[in-house]
Homo-oligomer: A and B are copies of this chain.
Amino acid sequence: MAYVDRGFNSGGGRAAPANSEFPRVGIQNDCTLRPMRHPQHSVLFYEGDKAERLYELDEGVVMLFKLLPDGRRQVVEILNAGSVFGLSAGEVYDCTAESLTPVKVSTLDRNSLEASPSLQQYVTRCLLTQMETLHDHAVLLGRKSAMERVSTFLMRMVPNRGGFACAGPAEDGTDDSRSVTLHMTRQEIADYLGLTIETVSRVISEMKRRGLICIERQDQIRIVNVCRMCQMTGIH
């Protein structure tokens, strides 16, 4: 029958496209503008703007979001260094892009994409990674509880854990804790996870109460036991 449990799922590991196996050829070429820096909370483009340039994120974190007319917001992607964004199937951007940290971005005329097969290949790989992340996020938004959403969100911040290729806890008996920096307010997290700010806050408080996390700063959280956190994502 159709729905065999294969015993995996793509759960966590959405490492950024930029890694050793895939060197940052990036989008440098004749049409590349000098990389630009923008402070935190800059809007790089708005949903509906004419989509003339595409962006590569060199440093920092960017979020893409969409708004409904009544003000409801959904953060649809959170992008790390190495990601390409601002490409659109239509004439205009389908999302607004805002920096969550100070960022450095390169931009490129979208026409020059056709000119360079190697660039296109790079872009395609970025898109595929983003697509898998979007698939996972659809599962989160459609099927996970608040606790599972926040756990999944926190695990997303821990590289090389929680996915197929989960490295597992270090074998040498050292503690399996890990400090992560969110770079997001509770409201931004809520809009990413499809929750309200109060629910996010309550879940984080509950995790603290249970000793799963320590709040080191508003946007910096220590996951006391990564493995235990991972158990709560709904993936295991």
Q: Which one of A2, A89, A132, A134 has the highest number of Cβ atoms from chain B below 10 Å of its Cβ?
A: A89
Given A66-B135, A131-B89, answer yes or no on A74-B117 (Cβ-Cβ < 8 Å): no
- Min Cβ gap A148→B in Å is 9
Q: Does A88 contact B (CB under 8 A)?
A: yes
Residues in A126-183 with C-beta less than 8 Å from chain B? 127-132, 134-139, 141-144, 164
CA of A47 to CA of B4, assembled, Å: 10
Copies of this protein chain in the complex: 2
Q: Which one of A46, A142, A164 has the highest number of Cβ atoms from chain B below 10 Å of its Cβ?
A: A142
Given A89-B129, A95-B135, A128-B87, answer yes or no on A43-B2 (Cβ-Cβ < 8 Å): yes
CA of A234 to CA of B17, assembled, Å: 34
The stretch of A5-13, A199-207, A216-224 in contact with B is A5-13
A8 proximity list for chain B (CB < 8 A): 47-48, 90, 92
CB of A6 within 8 A of CB of B47, answer: yes
CB of A76 within 8 A of CB of B121, answer: no
CA of A234 to CA of B121, assembled, Å: 37
A164 proximity list for chain B (CB < 8 A): 90, 92
Could you list some 25 contacts between A and B, CB below 8 A?
Answer: A2-B41, A2-B111, A2-B113, A3-B51, A3-B73, A3-B110, A5-B67, A5-B91, A5-B92, A6-B47, A7-B48, A9-B90, A9-B94, A10-B94, A64-B135, A66-B135, A72-B139, A74-B138, A76-B134, A89-B131, A92-B164, A94-B136, A95-B135, A127-B131, A134-B134
Interface residues of A (CB under 8 A from B): 1-10, 17, 41, 43, 46-48, 51, 64, 66-74, 76-77, 87-92, 94-96, 98, 110-111, 113-114, 117, 120-121, 123-125, 127-132, 134-139, 141-144, 164, 191, 193-194, 234-236
